[in-house]
A and B are shown apart, each in its own frame.
Chain A
Amino acid sequence: MVVDDHPMWREGVARDLTDAGYHVVAAVGEGAQAVRIARSVRPDVVVLDLQLPDLSGVEVIGGLVEALPQVRVLVLSASGEQQDVLDAVKAGAAGYLVKSAAREEFLDAVRRTAEGDAVFTAGLAGLVLGEYRRLAAAPGDGPEAPRLSDRETEVLRLVAKGLTYRQIAERLTLSHRTVQNHVQNTLGKLQLHNRVELVRYAIEQGLDG
């Protein structure tokens, strides 16, 4: 399923996916519509543009994950919307790719998303790394802020510097799979923390109200 408010992009992406042998179940231009249609067409992967006319990216991802807990969301977005991308990933997106990425790169990202891997670009690694540093520096009130192990930090820094998983595995003498697991963990911890924070917020609001 493709969600993008720009018709040219929507069609281009859908065509690329169809050409590559994927079955595009829906191509829509609005967030609310996307969440509604996703309930009935049940896509495995949603390719989502963060800038939609009606809902924010976080809202769309929240709605999609609620409707279909197994859905994998690949965020396809213009660069330079860093906070939006970080929020989307914390809300449960499985990966992020800039719109200017080449077609092969894009199709590879869709494949990996469908397989359940995190699609980590250098830009996203920088954002996630920054978020862990911010959480560590922020005065702790509430649940224990998630921390990265030294190894995870090391891997994430190398991803942010543009090394491929294979290069990282070589340099750290790890297996490809281990590198992938480390990366996946960094994202998982952040998403879990985000959910805990949301629940805590909801409880506080509920108790106060």
Chain B
Amino acid sequence: MGLQAPLWRAVTVFRGAALVYATVLMLAGSREHTRPWLGWTVLAAMVAWTVVTGVRYHDPAGRRWTWLTADLAVTLTCLLVSMLVVPAERLAAGGATLPMAWVAGVVLVWALRGGRRAGGIAALIVGAADLFLRGAVTSATVNGTVLLLLAGGVMGYVSRLTDDAEARLQRAVELEAATRERERLARGIHDSVLQVLALVQRRGTELGGEAAELGRLAGEQEAVLRSLVGVHDTAAAAGTADLRLLLGRYGSPRVTVSSPATPVLLPAAVAAEVAAAAGSALDNVTVHGGPAARAWVLVEQEPDAVTVSIRDDGPGIAPGRLAEAAASGRLGVAQSIQGRIRDLGGTVAISGGPGQGTEVELRVPVPRLG
């Protein structure tokens, strides 16, 4: 409760100041009091109570509702005892009660602990007691109650604000700690594990046989690990996604993903659809070209569109095959890709001849962002 502590301290300071004010009024008015000794006793009780609550509220564990209720009871007692000390006609005329402004202390405490509503309730109770005391609705009573309500409301609002601010601060601190830890891990992994995995891949491939298989596995793990620990400092704005990161996941020893050095931002849903379409195209490469087929993915950002090309080094499509397949309604994967991209207002071009590999080009218009 770091941010709340100063507020609680401020309430104690306010109570101390209100005590000084009450003492001055007592000194000035005690000659008219019917029972001056009782007045001084009440003042002494207020001093003692201010000290007790000051100590009690200093510790966050001491801010319990039982204490706050006792606080309200003591305040009301001090206020109501004024009936026995201050002459009734002076009270009815709006004269000073014994505690005077000191009663506001409990309203502030309630507001701090329970927010605006609790502050308002305390203000209304104290206001009602004041009204009972004076026996008539006067402008002074109404004024006093309105001021108490205001004080309770404002304090409750400030209390809620500090709670929010504190929670946010806490989250920010946690996030920063997590980011730092992640960066530290990423550096460590980059300097050691990734280098070794890359080395294993390289040497394994050269040795051939089973070692080559191990090397291939090491290479795959290297790509996965790299994308996991990759620190992406260009955090995409809410609702948008960097297409490079989504497509980067497809990268492997067989699949090369080429992209610009700057983020390719698309609305998150569009980016996900494009990435999914590119994923099906890559799956298609594996289906037709076998697990050894290589593929290249190129992401290009143009002023008004984003183009993703997927090319493989497979046998390619014989001329007319595509039209023939489309005519007989057996386009399958190509159709699902086309469906996705068309829904985004984009176009799909499939090209490639025998010996040239197959190339699928997805082109999606970019809505103006921000």
* B194 contact set on A, CB distance < 8 A: 78
Q: Does A20 contact B (CB under 8 A)?
A: no
* Least CB distance, A194 to chain B, in whole angstroms: 13
Which among B61-69, B138-146, B167-175, B219-227 touches the partner chain? B219-227
Q: Which residues of B contact A161 (CB under 8 A)?
A: 258, 296, 298, 309, 311, 359
Chain B residues 258-281 with CB under 8 Å of chain A are 258-262
Interface of A is mostly: helix
Q: A122 touching B302 by the CB < 8 A rule?
A: no
CB of A139, distance to nearest CB on chain B (Å): 12
Q: By the criterion CB–CB under 8 Å, are B356 and A162 in contact?
A: no
Residue of A nearest to B260 (CB): A130
* Nearest-CB residue, chain B, relative to A136: B303
For the complex, what is the distance from the CA of A122 to the CA of B198, rounded to whole Å? Answer: 19
* Neighbouring B residues of A9 by C-beta, 8 Å: 195, 199
B260–A126 touching, CB < 8 Å: yes
What residues of A have a CB within 8 angstroms of the CB of B298 in the complex?
Answer: 122, 126, 129, 157, 160-161
A36 within 8 A of B: no
Interface of B is mostly: mixed
In whole angstroms, what is the CA distance A206 to B42 when docked? 77
Residue of B nearest to A51 (CB): B190
Q: Are B311 and A162 in contact (CB under 8 A)?
A: yes
- Among the stretches B9-17, B102-110, B248-256, the one at the interface with A is B248-256
Complex interface: chain A residues within 8 A of B201 (CB): 100
Instruction: Report A72-131 residues with CB < 8 Å from chain B CB.
Output: 78-80, 82-83, 85-86, 99-103, 121-127, 129-131
**Cβ of B283: which chain A residues have Cβ within 8 Å of it?**
none
Instruction: Tell me whether B344 is interfacial, beta carbon within 8 Å.
Output: no
Is B226 touching A129 in the complex (CB atoms < 8 A)? Answer: no
Instruction: Tell me if B205 is interfacial: C-beta within 8 Å of chain A.
Output: yes
Q: Which residue on A lies nearest to B196, using beta carbons?
A: A8
| Complex Cα gap A162–B300 (Å) | 15
- A51, A121, A130, A163: the one contacting B259 at CB < 8 Å is A130
Tell me the complex Cα distance, A103–B212, Å.
Answer: 13
Q: Is the CB of A129 within 8 A of B205?
A: no
Q: Is B29 an interface residue (CB 8 A)?
A: no
Known: A8-B196, A100-B202, A161-B309. A79 touches B251 (CB 8 A): yes
B301 to chain A, nearest CB (A): 6
Contacting pair B199 A126 (CB below 8 A): no
Q: Check: B88 CB closer than 8 A to any chain A CB.
A: no
Contact of B198 among A99, A123, A134, A163 (CB under 8 A): A99
A134 to B199, CA, bound (A): 35
Do A130 and B300 touch across chains, with their CB atoms under 8 A apart? yes
Residue of A nearest to B192 (CB): A6
- Could you give, for residues 305-316 of chain B, a 1 whenever the CB lies within 8 Å of some chain A CB and a 0 otherwise? 000010101000
Report B62 CB to chain A, min CB distance, Å: 53
Residues in B neighbouring A171, C-beta threshold 8 A: 356
Are A134 and B260 in contact, with the CB atoms below 8 A? yes
Q: Would you give 13 A-B contacts (Cβ < 8 Å), ordered by A?
A: A12-B199, A12-B203, A82-B260, A82-B261, A85-B261, A103-B205, A126-B260, A127-B260, A129-B260, A131-B260, A133-B302, A161-B296, A167-B356
New A-B contacts (14) at CB < 8 Å, excluding given A102-B206, A131-B260, A160-B298? A79-B223, A80-B227, A82-B261, A99-B195, A100-B202, A102-B202, A121-B256, A122-B256, A129-B260, A137-B303, A157-B300, A162-B256, A162-B296, A171-B356
Q: Which residues of B contact A (CB under 8 A)?
A: 190-191, 194-196, 198-199, 201-203, 205-206, 219, 222-223, 226-227, 230, 248, 251, 253, 256-262, 294-296, 298-303, 309, 311, 313, 356, 359
